[in-house]
A and B are shown apart, each in its own frame.
Chain A
Amino acid sequence: MPAAIVRGGLPWKPGSADPPTAVMPGGWHYFTAQEARAVEAFVDRLIPPDPQTPGGKDCGCAVFIDRQLAGPYGRNESYYMMGPFQQGTKQQGPQSALTIAQQYRKALGALDNACRGKYGGRTFADLSDGEKDEVIKGLEDGSFKLEDFDAQSFFNLILTDTRNGFLADPIYGGNKDMAAWKMIGFPGARYDYRDWIDRHNERIPLPPVGINNHPNWSQ
C-alpha cells in the first residue's frame, strides 16, 4: 500500500477488505512428490488417527504445511534476514540464514538419506509405524542425526507446524471439517457469547463454525 495522506475525514472505500484466501486442495505447491510422502507419513505419526478423530494426514496437516511453505511464512517474509548470521544462545532465538521452506527441503532430504542408511535403503515413508516412531523419537531427543541439519530443530519445527495445521481454521487446508475443534470442544470462529458468559460450567451445544465453514452451509 503506498504512503497515504489522510485528512479531512476518515478514509473510506466501499468494499475494501482483505479476507484470507482459502486453500484449494489438490496437488502440492511447494513439496516434491517425495517430500510430500515423507511429510504425510510424518504428520500421521505425530497425530495418529483414532476412531473418533482423523489423524494428521486425513486432517490435511501436510497440505497445510505445503501451502504455508509456498507462501510468505515459508519465505520468512516477515523476518529480519540481514546478516551477519551467527549462532547465539538459545535465548537469542533462531539465527538461520535459511528460510523455513529451505530448512524443510534440506531436513527432509537429510531425513530420507539417514533412513536409507539405517533401514536398508528405505525412505521414511516406507518404514513401518514402529520404525517411524523410532525415528521421530530419535529426532526429538537428538540421537537420530541428520547430515548438516540439527535434528531437534527440525523436530520442533515440524511438530509446531503440524499442530498449527491440526487446530487452525480449516480455510488454511488443515483441521478438515473442523475435526480437531470437534475433538476438543472449541466452537470455532464464533463472535458473540453474550448469552453464554453467565452460564457457568455448562456443556454448550454449539457445533464449531469456521471462517468459511458451517454445518448448515453446503460445500
Chain B
Amino acid sequence: MARKLPQKDAVIVGLGWTGSILAHELCNAGLDVVAIERGPWRDTATDFLISYAQDELRYRLQHELFLRPAQITVTFRNNAQQTALPVRNWGAFMLGNGVGGAGVHWNAETFRFLPTDFVCRSHLVERYGEKFLPEDMTIQDWGVTYDDLEPHYDAFEYLCGTSGTAGNLNGTMLTGGNPFEGPRSRPYPTPAQKQGYGHTLFAEAAKQLGYKPYPQPSGNLSQAYTNPLGVKLGQCTYCGFCEWFGCANYSKASPQTTILPVLLRNSNFEARTECEVLRINLDSSGKRATGVSYVNSSGEEFEQPADLVLLCGFQLFNVQLLLLSGIGTPYDPQTGNGQIGRNFTHQTMSTAVAFFDKDKYNFNPFFASGAIGMCIDEFNGDNFDHSQLGFVGGGYIGQVRTNGRPLESMTVPPGTPAWGIKWKEALRDNYLSSMIVSGACHASFYSYRDIYLDLDPTYKDRFGRPLMRMTIDFHENELKMSAFLTDKYAEILQQMGAKQIVKQPRKGPYDVTDYQTSHLCGGAIMGDNPGHSALNRYLQSWDVPNLFVQGATAFPQNAGYNPTGTVGALAFWSAKAIVSQYLKNPGPLVHA
C-alpha cells in the first residue's frame, strides 16, 4: 500500500542537468520542490577522486558511473518484422545515473544549433522543394527560433563557464570563431581551450583547403571561473580521462560544479536519491497530474502529490513514463496517429583512421580534454548547397580526439593480424602516431515514420513494467550524408600528411552494440500544434498542462551537433515561462 506524502509545489523526476536548472529556478521563485532521482548522490570529493578517477577499466569499460541494464534497459529491433530483444549490456549509447545525470560523465562539448535547424522543414522545403525530401521523412519545425533561445543559450554557457571563441557577435563576424554560428549577444565566458598537436595540425590543413576552423566550445574550462550563482570551477588539466569519467578538478561543468552547492542551501529544496518513479499520477479527467508514485531502495512505495510535475529524466525514460502513465496517445506507425514515441532519432557518426610516419609525428593523444578539438562547419546543417548531392542534413567535422586511453586506442593498420607478435609490434609502432577520432564526423539524424519508441510486449523491468522498445535503422539519406562527410574529413587528413587513411563511413543496419554517442532524441516532441507534437513551445504537455517535459525528448529531429547546449537553453527558456507566466496563471500557455 503506497504511503501518501505531504503535498509539494513541484516534483521533479530526475536530478540531472535539466532537473537541477529547473529546481534552482523554481526554488528561487519560492516554490517547495522535491527532486526524485533513481541513482545515488554523487559528488567530486567522494566519487571522482584524483587518486583513482583515472581508471579506464572501471569507468570507461565497466561503466561504473552509468545506469546498469540490470536496473532498467530497453529493447531494440531494426524494423517491425523483427522481434525486439533486450539491450543486455550497453553498446550504442550509455545512460547516466545518479545525481548530475549525464552531466557528470559527458564530454562537455557545448554547441548551439544553427538558426536554420529550428525551422528545419520549412527552410529545406523553401530552398529545395517538397519533393527533395524523402516521402517518409517526418522532420518538423520546432515552434521556437534561435532568436527565442539565444538569451538562454547565453545563460547556460555562463552557468557552465564554457570556453570558446565567438564567431558571430551580434552580427559582427570575428576571425577564429565559427563563421556559421547564429549571432551571440556576448563572447564566451572563458577563452577557448589550448589545442594539442593533432588538433592544431588539423586546423592548419583545414585552412589550407579553404575552410574556417574554430575551437570546439568546451565545458572543460580553460581557466578558473566563478559562475553567476557564485559557484567556482577550476582549470582543466587536459588529463585525457574526461568523458565517461567524473572530473576530479572541478573543471568540468556539471550540476555538481555549477548549481548543486547553491541549490542544496535552499531550505525549500529536497532531493530523494535511489528512488525510482513508477508513474505520473493523473486525476479522473486525465488532464491533470496529481503527482508521482515512486519506490525507494527498500521497495516501499510512496505517492508524492504536487501541483506541478517536471519530467527531467533521460529522453528514453521520459517517453517511457509518459506511455506508462497514459499521457497522450501512443504513436502508431501504421496510421501515423499518436504523438508519444514518434520522431525518435539518434546521431549519425563516422570517422576515418589515419596512420602517420612514426618517425615524424608524435601526437601524444593523452594530452586532451573531453571537448578539445578544432572543427569546421562548412558541411553542417544547410550551410552548403545540397541540390546536386541527393541528401539533406550535415554535421561538424573535427579533430576532436579526447584521449589516448590504451583500451580505446588499439586501432592498427588494416591487414594487421588481431593477435600475435605482428599485432603487438603494430600497436607499439602506431600508438603515438595514429589519429583515432571516433567523433570526427558528428552529423544530423533526421526523423522518419518507421523510427519510433513504444512499450515492449514481452520484456519487463524489475517492477514488472514494460521496457521501452526502440525500432530504428539508418535511412539512405543519412548514409549518403555520412559518406560525403567522411570523404571530406579524409581529404583534410590527406592534407595533414597521413600516410594511410582508412575511411569508416556509417553503414547500416543500425547496430546497438556499436557506440555512436548517447544523443537519443525525440519521442515527445515540441511544436506549434497538438496535432503534430506532444509539447508546446514551452515544453508544456498539450495533454496535461501541469506537466512539463524537459530534455532532448522535445527535439523533432536531431541536428549536426551535440545536444546538451540546446537542452540547457530549452530548460532555461521553459523555466522562464513557468516562473513568469505559468505560476501566475496555471493552465495552457499556448492555445492552438
Tell me the A residues contacting B by CB distance below 8 Å.
Answer: 1-13, 16-20, 45-48, 50, 53, 73, 77-82, 84, 86, 88-95, 133, 136, 140, 159, 163-164, 167-169, 171-172, 180-181, 183-194, 196-198, 200-204, 211
Evaluate contact between B406 and A3: CB separation under 8 angstroms.
Answer: no
Contacts of A73 in B (CB 8 A): 62
| Contact residue among A11, A18, A191 (Cβ-Cβ distance under 8 Å from B41) | A11
- In angstroms, Cα B240 to Cα A19, docked, is 20
Whether A80 contacts B88 in the complex (CB less than 8 A), given A19-B49, A184-B427, A192-B239, comes out as yes
| Contact residue among B53, B274, B367 (Cβ-Cβ distance under 8 Å from A193) | B367
| Contact residue among B86, B89, B264 (Cβ-Cβ distance under 8 Å from A82) | B86
- In angstroms, Cα B239 to Cα A79, docked, is 30
- Which 10 A-B pairs have CB atoms at the shortest separation, nearest pair first? A200-B197, A167-B406, A184-B431, A80-B69, A3-B296, A3-B274, A6-B271, A78-B68, A168-B57, A192-B237
User: Which stretch, B73-81, B100-108, B140-148, touches the partner chain A?
Assistant: B73-81
CB closest chain-B residue, reference A77: B70
- 23 A-B pairs with CB atoms under 8 Å apart are A3-B275, A6-B264, A10-B260, A10-B261, A18-B47, A50-B421, A53-B428, A82-B460, A91-B510, A92-B82, A159-B418, A163-B407, A164-B61, A169-B55, A185-B432, A186-B431, A189-B55, A190-B366, A191-B249, A192-B237, A193-B237, A196-B367, A200-B197
- In angstroms, Cα B194 to Cα A193, docked, is 11
- In angstroms, Cα B236 to Cα A194, docked, is 8
Closest beta carbon of chain A to B522's beta carbon, Å = 20
Whether A93 contacts B420 in the complex (CB less than 8 A), given A3-B297, A78-B69, comes out as no
| Contact residue among A13, A45, A82, A88 (Cβ-Cβ distance under 8 Å from B419) | A45
Contacts of A181 in B (CB 8 A): 406
Say yes or no for B154: interface residue by CB 8 A criterion: no
Contacts of B51 in A (CB 8 A): 19, 211
CB closest chain-A residue, reference B261: A10
Q: 16 new A-B pairs (CB below 8 Å) besides A6-B272, A164-B61, A185-B431?
A: A1-B297, A3-B273, A5-B270, A6-B271, A7-B269, A16-B46, A78-B69, A78-B89, A91-B76, A163-B410, A167-B407, A184-B427, A191-B54, A192-B239, A194-B237, A197-B195
CB closest chain-B residue, reference A43: B419
Evaluate contact between B407 and A168: CB separation under 8 angstroms.
Answer: yes
Contacts of A187 in B (CB 8 A): 366
Evaluate contact between A80 and B87: CB separation under 8 angstroms.
Answer: yes
Contacts of B248 in A (CB 8 A): 191
Contacts of B404 in A (CB 8 A): 186
- In angstroms, Cα B275 to Cα A156, docked, is 38
The winner among A45, A89, A187 for most chain B CB atoms within 10 A is A89
Closest beta carbon of chain B to A128's beta carbon, Å = 15
Tell me the B residues contacting A by CB distance below 8 Å.
Answer: 40-41, 43, 45-47, 49-58, 61-63, 68-70, 73, 76-78, 82-83, 85-89, 91, 99, 194-197, 200, 235, 237-241, 248-249, 260-261, 264-265, 267, 269-275, 296-298, 361-364, 366-367, 404, 406-407, 410, 418-421, 423-425, 427-428, 431-432, 458-460, 509-513
- In angstroms, Cα B77 to Cα A84, docked, is 16
- In angstroms, Cα B41 to Cα A13, docked, is 12
CB closest chain-B residue, reference A11: B41
Evaluate contact between A169 and B56: CB separation under 8 angstroms.
Answer: yes
Evaluate contact between B82 and A89: CB separation under 8 angstroms.
Answer: yes
Contacts of B421 in A (CB 8 A): 48, 50
Evaluate contact between A2 and B274: CB separation under 8 angstroms.
Answer: yes
Whether A3 contacts B272 in the complex (CB less than 8 A), given A18-B47, A186-B404, comes out as yes
CB closest chain-B residue, reference A140: B418
- In angstroms, Cα B195 to Cα A198, docked, is 7
Evaluate contact between A164 and B63: CB separation under 8 angstroms.
Answer: no
Closest beta carbon of chain A to B31's beta carbon, Å = 15
Whether A164 contacts B407 in the complex (CB less than 8 A), given A7-B264, A200-B200, comes out as yes
Evaluate contact between A79 and B272: CB separation under 8 angstroms.
Answer: no
| Contact residue among B52, B68, B238, B364 (Cβ-Cβ distance under 8 Å from A204) | B364
Whether A81 contacts B70 in the complex (CB less than 8 A), given A10-B264, A11-B41, comes out as yes
Evaluate contact between A202 and B362: CB separation under 8 angstroms.
Answer: yes
Closest beta carbon of chain B to A40's beta carbon, Å = 15
- In angstroms, Cα B419 to Cα A163, docked, is 9
The winner among A88, A181, A183 for most chain B CB atoms within 10 A is A88
Contacts of A8 in B (CB 8 A): 264-265, 267
Evaluate contact between A12 and B45: CB separation under 8 angstroms.
Answer: yes
- In angstroms, Cα B270 to Cα A8, docked, is 8
- In angstroms, Cα B54 to Cα A86, docked, is 37
Whether A200 contacts B196 in the complex (CB less than 8 A), given A18-B47, A192-B239, comes out as yes
Contacts of A167 in B (CB 8 A): 406-407, 410
- In angstroms, Cα B57 to Cα A171, docked, is 10
Contacts of A136 in B (CB 8 A): 419
- In angstroms, Cα B425 to Cα A53, docked, is 10
CB closest chain-A residue, reference B67: A78
Contacts of B459 in A (CB 8 A): 82
CB closest chain-A residue, reference B90: A78
